[in-house]
Structure 1
Amino acid sequence: MSCKRPHSRSRSPGHFGSERPTARILGASGQQLGVLKLSEALREAQSRGLDLVEVAPTANPPVCKIVSLGKFRYDLSKHDKDKKAGGAKLKEIKFRVNIDEHDYLTKVRHGEEFLERGNKVRVQLQFRGREMAHQEFGMQLVEKVRDDLSGMSQVEMEPKITGRNITMTLTPLPANRRKRRFLPPPKEEAAADSQNGSKS
């Protein structure tokens, strides 16, 4: 008798063998069904149109769950993605309305670096004194930052005025969709470019 393994490389059921004829069985919602013979557990799973999936092979006895194998794999994958997303840090870059071009490019380059590493970026613009009378200039600058980083990110939180600040949050695009604008290309791309240049 066998119990399917969610990560089996061969995609075939993993066999316990005669020395492990029983397993602790969980229902689809996690309820304990007790320690059963694998033959009984398989019949129970089949009667429900579900699979018997091994979830804790090193336990004694091993633990199997009666569940749809496809749904189980999907839930595992979603959990892994959520963990990775939760690990992303929130970085911040600050601007002033009257920032000069060199400082602007430096800060936008930092933003691109943060996004390249998979971090979210909070863009904050602070008004001082009479600058509050011309909030449209601040909004234009924040929108320029958004546009300049659009090849690397998408807007998670639209620009919002709070007190003397305008804030906006950007989240990185998937790695295969990112297009650098301010950072130099990766080494392998740079090497390929130099080779192409020498041929021409």
Structure 2
Amino acid sequence: MPTGVALREVRRQLFDAAERVLLRDGANALTSRAVTTEAGCAKGVLHRHFPDFDAFLADLVRDRIDRMDTQAAALREAAGTGTVTGNLTSALTALFESLAVAVVGLITARDGLRARLRETIPAGIPVLTEGAQMIADYLTEERDLGRIAADRDPAMLAFTLIGTAHLLYAGKDGDRPEKDAVEEIVTTIVGDAVR
């Protein structure tokens, strides 16, 4: 690999390359060599910007979590519009068709990465925990608007939705579930709570 090639936005290019490798080849294929090869740069570039590969991966996961803020804001703004089931189906589909399932596999596979993430994310499974919070915040808004029964706990509904959707997506070997399958789990879980 050439070492004299200037890279703009090195972190972004390395993160995007890692995401492509992770989605295409899985967690076991994600190495510093695979990332730098995918990014078209020398292996030393990654190590100039990150102390080690687990530090790089931890920053990748945190970056992807930060990107969820836009999705969370859009979902909260959707409260009171459309249908609760439709909004949740769209949100879960967007979350799990992104990097979520692959990131959970990556975190599970790498002890060093889990240790790094625990420094800033002390509980839960990163990405899934933030996804559950996003859904709970939305359901709280809908409950406040009277579209979800007042006696229903948004956090419990959110945990159930995230867990069930994760199992649905993780159970597919590269194939994404149909939107109808996601909508069916949403309807089953929140259907009797919707007003």
Q: TM-score, normalised by structure 2?
A: 0.31
Which is strand-richer, 1 or 2?
Answer: 1
Relative contact order (alpha carbons < 8 A, sep ≥ 6): 1 or 2 greater? Answer: 2
Structure with bigger gyration radius? 1
